[in-house]
Structure 1
Amino acid sequence: MKKRIVSTLVLVLSLLLCMGVSFAGEVIKVGAGQPITGRFAFAGKHIHQGLMDSLDYANEQGGVGGMNFKYIYEDTGYDLKRAIASFKKIMAQDNPVMMYGESTGVGKAMAPEINSRYHVVYGSTSFSEELADRQKNPYTFVSGPTYAQQFGVLLKYIAGQPKKNNKPHRVAFFYSDTEFGRDPIPFARKLAKELGIEVVAEEVTKVGAVDITSQLLDLKRNKPDYCIFQGYVVPPIPEVIRGAKDFGLDIKFMGTFWAMTKMLLDKLGPDGEGYMGVSPYSYWYMDEVPMIQAMHAYSKKHHPDVAYRPSSYMQGWFTGMIYVKLAKLCHEAGLPITGENLKNMIPKVQNWDTGGLNGVVSFANSNATATGKVYKAQGGKFVAVSDWIKLDE
């Protein structure tokens, strides 16, 4: 009888371990395929550091129910095949309950297996609308508002500004001819119409386009009050802004997350003054923000030579906060920390105070926060010109 009980217990424990269950005294494994090298390394290395630091910070705060986080990563070089191979290797060798991926491409490629085979909660660098669709991808979340939601925050902000001569606001969309660029445009067209905003032009270019003469002439012809960039990091944004000034155009230029960086402002120099956009996060130099203060204290202890952390670091740190939050919700509910249980906790993240890093967050109608803040460049830094704007309200 004893042998039968022992055998049954061994079998149950083996099954639970195969499912990636974490027990008190053990570790909560987080796997990651990070673009530390390659053409996205300018951001990837900071995302990687932010996620690693965030999990280590959580461990210093006591972890979750006696369990610490273990961060397991590989450099993917921003290569899709390599990233998929790394994902499968980490899952096979370490069986983490949470994973992080380098791109929208990896998330979409692995989504069927994440949902049907791996059952692992998945975050990434992406703000894709499709990946945040809870019905299609219940295990996947976005560490902020989707690109569409970011457009929505900007359009909602524009709709609240005084009109010129009591006429509807005129907006141009300026985006790259890529999946990254096109992702939010259908939603943005629809929302603009609902808000009474006229979309007077859509300018489309290749990534890093050099000759943007035809686009500038079209902006001159259509005279938008605002122009929103999507699908770019730096070029051709400086060329467009300087060209518009040369043409004497009075346009307020705006960007979504990847076009709201110190790197872009440094490239713009004086021409960046007044540039605007949306970000899901507070900036490193915003000393009044409690979570930024915590980051500074952690950095002073572990990275004393670091003077600044970019927005990509904030994305990595916030992703770590989400992982920790989901694990805590499982623990508080008395549930083992498995991918399945973590997935079920995503919709339960409601009115979560992130210490000012991302406002008060809820994963309400999708696995994205639908929350952002509008900033304006002044003196080489971004300053807030709005409170946190929630698109679901």
Structure 2
Amino acid sequence: MTDFLRRKLIQAAGSAAALGPFAIGSVSAQQKGDIVIAASQPITGIFAFAGTAMNNGLNDFVLWKNANGGVAGRKLRYVSEDSGFKLDQGVAIFKKLMASEKPSFFYGDSTQWAKAVAQDAVAAGTIMTSSTSLASSMADPTGMPQHFVPGPIYGSMHEILMEYIAKTWSKSDKPKIAYVYADTEFGRDGIPAGKARAEKLGLPIVTEIVTKQAGIDVAPEVAKLRRARPDIVIFQGYILAPMPEFVRQMREAGLQSQVMGTAWGLDKPAYDALGAMGESLAGVSPYRYGHETDSTMINAMRDFGAKNRPDMKNISPFYISSWLSGMVFAEVADRCIKANKPLTLPNMKAALESMKEWDSGGIFGTLVDLSKHQAPVGRIYRYEPKTKTMEPASSWLKV
């Protein structure tokens, strides 16, 4: 944590203690009326397919929660604007809505956004943030005290993946693993943790291939894979392309490697595209999928969508992730209100860190510990060609 952030957090804590239940000004305003959740969402632009789902998920959670009594008798109110996945626009939305709406919670569109607003968020002392990002740097109770990750960070997912591989492959003939990842923060994140866990488990990483995010000639990279002949190829940092072209050329080169990934790389566009090629994509998902029926909360999403979004044929992980963030926001607010504490950052951070056995309604298949500002659990899923869905291939794993 920078000296600036540390000073501001201490000042906020001191102010909250001094004001207590008789706080005035912005803190007083938070103790009555609606609890505001604001958002900067990429509803247009290159990530509109995800941003629309995230905006719908958080909006729908607020409507569902209010229909089920709200938070300690108070209503939630959701306000959002379109960032277009542009950092300057997202930061401007944060400043605008902070001034006009006085939110207690704010949801953003990226790792960069969360970092860019961090100093202002901590200085305000009245806001908690989250975002779609699962970046390792976002789960930092000291350096990013105002922020939480709605799931496991990428490092945790790669560790879970290595543990699964070690347990399910022959111990006498350990599989050779290749990493293929984009030269972006999204792509690089989690790889060091995965490599460290692989070394600990005696799993050989035989090659690493780093590519541009787009516009890639994969032929030279497939040649490297052919020389290394891995049993497993793990992709990171892609949502779809260039995975299908990689796999097509790998098969043409005689490679039968199992294709694996994490989180957003296991969404419907990826498993549909690879499934159409006869491939069985597998990997670590932070959440149950939208078609599963053994989660009361995902069932609630599906019921809400059937009544209010009849055109929504698939509940995407982006929708689930933002709905889940809304659940955490609501739980933090509920714990503060029931303890008769104002919604200040120190109080909200303490409430979040008290969530050590939190029930997500089955979005995670086990009680989760959010005290480290992430939920380090995940499950291996594998594509099932008969149903054209991702189905469980393991129990829920923790690291």
Matches within 5 A, 1:1-393: 16-19=24-27, 21-24=29-32, 26-163=33-170, 166-271=172-277, 273-363=279-369, 366-379=372-385, 380-391=388-399
2:91 and 2:113 in contact (8 A); partners too: yes
How many corresponding residue pairs? 379
2:72 and 2:337 in contact (8 A); partners too: yes
2:136 and 2:154 in contact (8 A); partners too: yes
1:55 and 1:324 in contact (8 A); partners too: no
Q: Post-superposition shift, 1:311?
A: 1.4
Q: CA RMSD in A?
A: 1.9
Gaps of 5+ in 2: 1-18
Q: Post-superposition shift, 1:30?
A: 0.7
Q: Post-superposition shift, 1:314?
A: 0.9
CA distance in 1, matches of 2:20, 2:302: 44
CA distance in 2, matches of 1:59, 1:272: 44
* SS class of match (1:216): helix
Q: Post-superposition shift, 1:301?
A: 2.5
Gaps of 5+ in 1: 1-10
Equivalent AA in structure 2 for residue 382 of structure 1: M
Q: Post-superposition shift, 1:319?
A: 1.0
Q: Post-superposition shift, 1:14?
A: 9.6
* SS class of match (2:137): coil
2:240 and 2:270 in contact (8 A); partners too: yes
* SS class of match (1:78): coil
Residue deviations 1:128-165 (CA, integer Å, cap 9, x gap)? 1111111111110001001111111111111111227x
Equivalent AA in structure 2 for residue 212 of structure 1: V
CA distance in 1, matches of 2:198, 2:371: 20
Equivalent AA in structure 2 for residue 194 of structure 1: K
Give the TM-score normalised by the residue count of structure 1.
0.91
Give the TM-score normalised by the residue count of structure 2.
0.90
CA distance in 1, matches of 2:28, 2:153: 29
Q: Post-superposition shift, 1:337?
A: 2.9
Q: Post-superposition shift, 1:270?
A: 2.7
CA distance in 2, matches of 1:53, 1:384: 26
CA distance in 2, matches of 1:66, 1:283: 31
Q: 1:342 to 1:364 in 2, by over 3 A?
A: closer
CA distance in 2, matches of 1:111, 1:20: 23
Q: 1:339 to 1:383 in 2, by over 3 A?
A: same
* SS class of match (1:67): coil
Stretch of structure 1 that moved more, 132-141 or 15-24? 15-24
1:173 and 1:202 in contact (8 A); partners too: yes
Q: Post-superposition shift, 1:308?
A: 1.9
